[in-house]
Amino acid sequence: MERIALVTGGASGIGLACAGALLEAGYRVMINDLEDDRGRARARALGAEFVGADLSERSGCKRAVEATLSTLGGLDVLVNNAGFQHLDPIPDFPEDTWDDMLALMLSAPFLLAKYAWEPLKRTGHGRIVNIGSAHSLAASPFKAAYVSAKHGLVGFTRVAALEGAPFGITCNTVCPAYVRTPLVEGQIADQARTRGIRADEVEQQIFLANVPIKRMLEPEDVARYVVFLASEASWSVTGATATMDLGWTAH
């Protein structure tokens, strides 16, 4: 029987790579992103379904799960990847940024898991894979909301792993260092202009300054890890913070 996956934030970057990798592994995939023609077109090009829903709202989380169940007939794997398109450092702690980030990157994974819980239980092998960050385990200045959300995701992962274990549900968080997504490429370009240096120098001097492996991750690197955690082979892995941080947190 074909297994079914819901990938949030799946219209670009890590989410799009995860959707593609899951499709190649034989899954049927529902991509969620904000409602727009580009997201629908990318899903169609991959051979995936698409549901437009704003996950910063409770109703959007419920809609994403319900659309997956009604369109594909079930749910085996939930990949919580949705994030923001702009994550510039913000030093003055604006309340709206705090509220928005925690709603999308912490409350939404909880709500999606809540609505998906019974369908995942019915499979006997449900999988929840949360896309965290090296900032799930470490901190940087001027990223209070982002770091808090990603740290909170680890706590949620551990609780969901304990509660899901009797039903065959596993829950893990993948924690990558900087990944070459459109968001990060834009940040690199901005830094290059601001500092008057080349893009590759920005990568080495800023993005990779604190890691021993001096190479940016690609979205496909993360996607391969997600496919493993979604598979039957990962049955014993739960409650884990699966680091892909280039040695960042080994310091």
β-partners of residue 170 are 127
Distance between CA 34 and CA 60 in Å, rounded?
Answer: 10
The predicted pLDDT at position 67 comes to 98
In angstroms, the CA 248 to CA 250 distance is 6
- Shared domain for 136 and 184, answered yes or no, is no
Residue 3 clears pLDDT 90, i.e. is over it: yes
- What is the extent of the structural domain holding 86? 4-178+217-244
In the annotation, is 27 catalytic? Answer: no
169 shares its domain with 137:
yes
pLDDT reading at 130 higher than 70? yes
Residue among 63, 100, 58, 104 at smallest CA distance from 83: 104
Check: CB of residue 246 under 8 Å from CB of residue 215.
yes
174 and 236: one domain? Answer: yes
pLDDT of residue 1: 72
pLDDT surpasses 60 at 16: yes
Mind listing the pLDDT tens digit for each residue in 144-154? Answer: 999 999 999 99
CA–CA gap between residue 149 and residue 146 (Å, rounded): 5
Shared domain check, 121 and 221: yes
Beta bridge mates, 215 = none
- Give, as one character, the DSSP assignment of residue 217: B
The number of distinct structural domains making up the chain is 2
pLDDT band at 82 (very low <50, low <70, confident <90, very high): very high
pTM for the model stands at 0.95
Neighbour count for residue 193 (Cβ, 10 Å): 11
Residues 197 and 143 in one domain: no
Does residue 250 lie within any of the structural domains?
no
Q: Which of 27, 115, 146, 225 is catalytic?
A: 146
Q: What is the mean pLDDT of residues 32-60?
A: 97
Q: Answer whether residue 171 shows pLDDT above 60.
A: yes
> Among 12-16, 131-135, 182-186, 218-222, which is the least confidently predicted range?
182-186
Do both 197 and 223 map to the same domain? Answer: no
